[in-house]
Amino acid sequence: MPYKKRSESVVLKTLRILNKRMKLTEDEQRYYLNLEKGFEGEVQFDLLTEKLQRSCHILNDLQLESNKSSFQLDSSLIFKETYSLFEVKNFEGEYVYDSEYFKTPSGKDIQNPLDQLKRSKLLLSQILQSLGCKLTIEAYVIFINPHFTLYQTPPDLPFILPTQLDPFMKKLDQKPSRLNQTHTNLADKLISLHQTVPPYIHLPTYTYENLKKGMTCCKCNTFSVRIVGKKLICGKCGFEELVATAVLRNVEEFRILFPERKVTAKIIHEWCGIVDSRKRISRVLQKNFKMTGLGQWAFYE
Ligand SMILES: [Zn+2]
């Protein structure tokens, strides 16, 4: 089990909601889909690290800062003598290696992640040093997608290609490992340094007014849902969800997009769109949140 679990970043969560409720520009759409794909790849790698039998601390997704420079570690494994850090790439397709870019005939080149890896390793080593930690850092780029090929890759690079993943994981599982309190202290310290909101956030501009209101299906994201009794039923995929659960899901979306705005029955009624009465919304909110104030001025936290 991971010592620190992975969850979607605030940016990804926000873009997921915005993608449903407004028209993203082509660039924004591409950025969003890249994040989605990157996250998917990281989750795939988590499935492999969780299978390791050796005792090690798994830290998924650390956003850290050293000397005013921010950096992100997709995945870290703390073993007895080593700190293994992994940059996970979910690239797909055929590329030819080049020190600066991975090249493809279609011209959609991608930046060689080696520089990013070196930078992360350096910044991490500064942090470990300041904490008096003497573990040796090993850094790798993991190419997780089975449909990725990189021709002419120099053999001495810290790259793990899809066909090398299985033997690589087996090798990791043979590392000497008996963790003690020092390792746990290090893991705890790094988690305490983790920044939940990354310093640079690029988000499309949005306002409450320009977003599409209504409830969506939690399986297929369509707005074509209707309420029958206590259930929200999707007209596209047929999925059924309790209205109360769906309202809470939509409150969560509202809070992610507008963390500074108060959650009131009036605004959630408008946000959810298809719920017939405001009283029904109030009942769900009262059951699940702490109410402050009374009547029409009541809000929920
Ligand atoms: Zn659906």
One domain for residues 46 and 148? yes
d(CA 153, CA 138): 19
Residue 251 Cα, ligand 1 centroid: separation in angstroms? 19
Domain match, 159 and 240 both? no
Q: Give the residue-averaged pLDDT of 171-181.
A: 89
d(CA 12, CA 18): 10
* Contact present, 245 and 194 (Cβ < 8 Å): no
221 C-alpha to ligand 1 centroid (Å): 6
Question: Is 210 inside a domain boundary?
Answer: no
Q: What is the average pLDDT across 171-194?
A: 93
Q: Is residue 219 part of a domain?
A: no
Task: Compute the distance from residue 232 Cα to the ligand 1 centre, in Å.
Answer: 10
Surrounding residues of ion ligand 1, Cβ less than 5 A: 217, 219-220, 234, 236-237, 239
pLDDT (0 to 100) of residue 291: 81
What is the edge-to-edge ordering of all strands in the sheet holding 231-234? 225-228, 231-234, 240-242
CA of 44 to the centre of ligand 1 (A): 25
For the chain, what is the domain count?
A: 2
**Is 229 found in the same domain as 82?**
no
pLDDT of 37 > 90? The answer is: yes
205 in a domain, yes or no? no
- Please check whether residues 97 and 144 belong to one and the same domain: yes
Q: How confident is the model at residue 294 (pLDDT cuts 50, 70, 90)?
A: confident
Residue 223 CA to ligand 1 center (angstroms) comes to 8
Residues 294 and 165 in one domain: no
Specify the CATH number for the domain of residue 180. Answer: 3.40.1350
pLDDT at position 269: 92
219-231 pLDDT, tens per residue?
Answer: 999 999 999 999 9
Q: Domain check: are 15 and 119 in the same one?
A: yes
Looking at the domain assignment, is residue 217 inside a domain? Answer: no
Distance between Cα 241 and ligand 1 center (Å) = 10
User: Is 198 within the bounds of a domain?
Assistant: no
Is 90 exceeded by the pLDDT of residue 105?
A: no
pLDDT band at 186 (very low <50, low <70, confident <90, very high): very high
Residue 220 lies in a domain: no
State residue 286's pLDDT score: 87
Please check whether residues 267 and 119 belong to one and the same domain: no
Distance 261 CA to ligand 1 centre (A): 29
Q: Tokens 């963390």 correspond to what residue?
A: 259
Segment 190-218 mean pLDDT: 90
pLDDT of res. 276? 79
Domain range for 273 is: 225-300
Write the DSSP string, 266-299.
HHHHHHH-S-S-HHHHHHHHHHHS-EES-GGG-E
Residue 199 lies in a domain: no
Which of 54-63, 94-103, 258-267, 274-283 is predicted with the least confidence, judged by mean pLDDT?
274-283
